[in-house]
Amino acid sequence: MERTESNSLATSRRTHRNGAERAVEAQLAPIARLLDRELSHLAFNERVLALTQRTSVPLAERLRYVCIVSSNLDEFFEIRISELMGEMRETGGINQASPLWESFAHIAERAHGLVDRQYQIYNEQIIPALARERIVVLSHSKRTPAQRAWVKEYFEGEVRPLLSPIGLDPAHPFPQVMNKTLNFIVQLNGKDAFGRPGTIAIVKVPRALPRVIPLPSRLTPNRQAFVLLSSVIRAHLADLFPRRGVAGFSQFRVTRDSELWVDEREVSDLRHALQVELTQRHFGNAVRLEVLRTCPEALELMLREQFELPPHAVYRVAGPVNLVRLNQLVDHLNRPEHRFPPLVPAWPRQLAQGSDLFEAIRQGDILLHHPFESFEPVVDFLRQAVADPKVVAIRMTLYRTGTGSILVDLLEEAARLGKEVTVVVELKARFDEEANINVAERLEAVGAQIVYGLVGLKTHAKLLLVLRRESARGRERLVRYAHLGTGNYHPTTTKLYTDFGLLTAHSGICTDVEKVFMHLTSLTRVERLRHLWLAPFTLHQRNLAAIANEARLARAGKPARVIAKVNALVDEATINALYEASGAGVRIDLIVRGACSLRPGVKGLSENIQVRSVVGRFLEHHRIYYYGAGGSELVYLASADWMGRNLFRRIEVAFPVLDPKLKRRVIEEGLRPYLEDTAEAWTLLPAGEYAPPRQLAHGQCAQRKLLALLTRPDEEP
């Protein structure tokens, strides 16, 4: 399989390099063909951060966007930057000049600017705005004597018993510091108990302690007041070291390489190997160090040397070193005007609540558009399958499910009832590995057949297949029903992410879904699929062929069109195909939420390509591929972005929308509103920067339009 994957990638890249690159090579000397992926990812977070400055966004949500940027940056450093630093270490060390070092320095410069801007917005805009609403975060200097007394009592009763300060000496070396934890480094005055001067101490803060602590209302009349755990500890650092005195200190936080490395070809039990590897994740190579802006230079240097980091990897911040944990503050803000209006997803209009879903699906395919339409029909589909004695088998892929998932409960119940339940659980779903191991063990315990996917590939496709024994014309036969989606089987994220799902009994599509499951469970070669595009086998080449077909139509003087909505576009072969199609005259619109390496609007290369990124209340997550096809309008929904990992290192599925009415819905709901958006759509410029939305206040907003269209019962579908 690895040889096939590698050959496929090499062949498709070679083909398009020979075509597109030679055609425009003479005109490309002044520019780079591709935009830097890491810089593009940081640009996405800059767009998210811009939401914190919009007065139209409720205050609590603006603070949440500050937290989201921090969470995104954590993963960026844990995965993307750790890979870059790993390459530097392998090629001569992180302190030697090299192209990799220059790239790292450039990325770090952009990241430092983003972090500085983030803290500036937090300190100069969010905190003052909260104060105007009588919501305050009190530092030690701003607390009254009564509040200080309460904080001291809280420290002595709830915090101090859990702290174990470690003074450093030959018998007490620098302790292991876990990934993304809050810690203090302290320079002490005087001498220790053995008469030795100049001790450095480390204070590790347990994750069990809340980072945001509400003060009692009796101490803060007419205000909601909070103190941060870091402020509580800082105010009482000296109490941890009697008769010493604190000469200098800083909070610090280390971000580490968090990619799990398991050679699946060398292990006999992937689940066990991952369980072992998970225990080491918190102690991977350091890739970033966050300290206070006031951190003494000597302490910063000591930490940097301890974690073997270059100067660029140190981030001095003007506030708490982990803004992610301020989500706890957001959760405490319960005034409705500070939040988005609650979303109550509509029940799909073509489907009556409480109806027999099998009968409804037999009448025609059902398209679901989340979060505007409820995810509950998918849950009901599985629930009815579990309860229906005619259903003999259920097969499902699980990538991310969340904790306490009703879907897992239903699969467990189906197995208990004796149905044939097969679940493909992706153990390597990043940062959900432990949760998925628990799901696998739980389902296996009740007799479900658990499969962990294929060696070297993550199973990212979203598929649910139900086999039901039905009678027709005096004979029984197995009838297949399926759900295919662009998003995870995760009831929580379906309320936050935009995704499409399709419930279908189409015999060709359902047969293809069954073949995919057969491939996943038996490891046999995939039989020819009539409707689905399956990565890593056919999805990439079918997509390239569809784009090339549009180029042929354009050269023949016929209308040609490509529209795609994806989370990321970085696959070089796909970009080259789009460049070639643009040169042929194909009009191409790309809606790319995150990283995009394609450079649009360059004469002779991409002048017919426009790229926009929509960032708003909901996370844009559906993947839609549209090809004009000479007026036939091919529309595919997919689990895959246009990235190498999706196209060659994962099991992914793209599926067609065949019903003309549903195809029109996908175009009118999933594409057109985003192409017409002037309120939340950023435009990618040829130089790689993004131009902000043209009409922030009164422009057309895709998400607002869909909320109005799909959640109002008096609207026509």
Query: Which tens digits make up the pLDDT trace of 231-266?
Result: 999 999 999 998 888 999 999 999 998 765 544 444
Whether residue 93 is predicted with pLDDT greater than 70 in this model: the reply is no
Q: Which of 115-124, 487-496, 575-584, 585-594 has the lowest mean pLDDT?
A: 487-496
Within 10 angstroms of residue 279's Cβ, the number of other Cβ atoms is: 8
Average pLDDT over residues 315-336: 94
* 101 shares a domain with 16: no
Structure tokens at 292: 């206070």
Domain that holds residue 702: 2-30+534-711
Q: What is the pLDDT of residues 152-203, one digit of tens each?
A: 999 999 999 999 999 887 667 888 999 999 999 999 987 766 667 668 999 9
Whether residue 98 is predicted with pLDDT greater than 60 in this model: the reply is yes
Higher pLDDT: 264 or 658? It is: 658
* 694 shares a domain with 571: yes
Listed residues 476, 499, 530: the one ending a domain:
530
* 13 shares a domain with 65: no
Q: Which among 261, 252, 256, 348 is positioned nearest to 301, based on CA atoms?
A: 252
pLDDT class for 354, splitting at 50, 70, 90?
confident
Listed residues 338, 371, 390: the one ending a domain:
338
Residue 18 has a pLDDT of 46
Q: Which of 10-24, 162-176, 667-681 has the lowest mean pLDDT?
A: 10-24
Residue 315 to residue 294: CA distance in whole angstroms: 12
Residue 3 has a pLDDT of 36
Phi, psi of 488 (to 5 degrees): -75, 160
- Whether 113 maps to a domain, the answer reads yes
- Which are the contacts of 406, defined by CB distance < 8 A and separation ≥ 6? 379, 491
* 260 shares a domain with 280: yes
* Longest CA span, the chain: 96
- Whether 627 maps to a domain, the answer reads yes
Could you please report the per-residue DSSP string of 148-170? HHHHHHHIIIIIGGG---EE-BT
Whether residue 274 is predicted with pLDDT greater than 80 in this model: the reply is no
* 171 shares a domain with 78: yes
628 CA to centre of own chain: 30
The neighbouring-strand residues paired with 638 are 623, 654
Higher pLDDT: 652 or 431? It is: 652
Residue 441 has a pLDDT of 85
- Whether 352 maps to a domain, the answer reads no
Q: Which of 465-474, 584-593, 700-709 has the lowest mean pLDDT?
A: 465-474
* 135 shares a domain with 6: no
Residue 583 to residue 563: CA distance in whole angstroms: 16
Catalytic residue among 460, 483, 490, 540: 460
Residue 560 has a pLDDT of 97
Do residues 579 and 20 touch, judged by C-beta distance below 8 A? Answer: yes
Whether residue 267 is predicted with pLDDT greater than 50 in this model: the reply is no
* Active-site annotation holds for 332: no
Residue 153 to residue 573: CA distance in whole angstroms: 62
Q: Which of 50-54, 153-157, 399-403, 462-466 has the lowest mean pLDDT?
A: 399-403
* 426 shares a domain with 463: yes
Do residues 329 and 137 touch, judged by C-beta distance below 8 A? Answer: yes
Residue 26 has a pLDDT of 40
Residue 473 has a pLDDT of 77
Residue 74 to residue 477: CA distance in whole angstroms: 52
- Whether 193 maps to a domain, the answer reads yes
Q: Could you tell me the pTM of the whole model?
A: 0.89
Interior angle at CA 642, CA 640 and CA 645, nearest 5: 75
**Phi-psi map region of 64: left, alpha, beta (phi>0 left; psi -120 to 50 alpha):** alpha
Average pLDDT over residues 521-526: 83
Whether residue 129 is predicted with pLDDT greater than 70 in this model: the reply is yes
- Whether 643 maps to a domain, the answer reads yes
* 651 shares a domain with 580: yes
* 131 shares a domain with 241: yes
* 109 shares a domain with 14: no
Residue 23 has a pLDDT of 44
Q: Which of 117-121, 365-369, 431-435, 588-592 has the lowest mean pLDDT?
A: 431-435
What CATH number is associated with residue 92? 3.30.1840.10
Whether residue 29 is predicted with pLDDT greater than 50 in this model: the reply is no
- Whether 648 maps to a domain, the answer reads yes
What CATH number is associated with residue 482? 3.30.870.10
Do residues 369 and 706 touch, judged by C-beta distance below 8 A? Answer: yes
Burial class of residue 115 (count of CB atoms within 10 Å of its CB; 0-12, 13-18, 19+): buried
* 389 shares a domain with 305: no
Whether residue 12 is predicted with pLDDT greater than 50 in this model: the reply is no
Whether residue 24 is predicted with pLDDT greater than 80 in this model: the reply is no
Q: Tokens 């590790």 correspond to what residue? A: 204
**Percent above pLDDT 70 for the chain:** 87
- Whether 55 maps to a domain, the answer reads yes
Whether residue 454 is predicted with pLDDT greater than 80 in this model: the reply is no
The secondary structure of 454-523, three-state, reads CCCCEECCEEEEEEEEEEECCEEEEEEEEEEECCCCCCCHHHCEEEEEEEECCHHHHHHHHHHHHHHHHC
Residue 377 has a pLDDT of 96
Residue 82 has a pLDDT of 87
* 235 shares a domain with 362: no
Listed residues 530, 558, 586: the one ending a domain:
530
Burial class of residue 292 (count of CB atoms within 10 Å of its CB; 0-12, 13-18, 19+): buried
- Whether 219 maps to a domain, the answer reads yes
How many structural domains does the chain have?
Answer: 3
- Which are the contacts of 448, defined by CB distance < 8 A and separation ≥ 6? 411, 412, 414, 415, 421, 422, 423
Q: What is the pLDDT of residues 600-641, one digit of tens each?
A: 999 999 999 999 999 999 999 999 999 999 999 999 999 999
Interior angle at CA 695, CA 690 and CA 696, nearest 5: 85
Mean pLDDT of the chain: 88
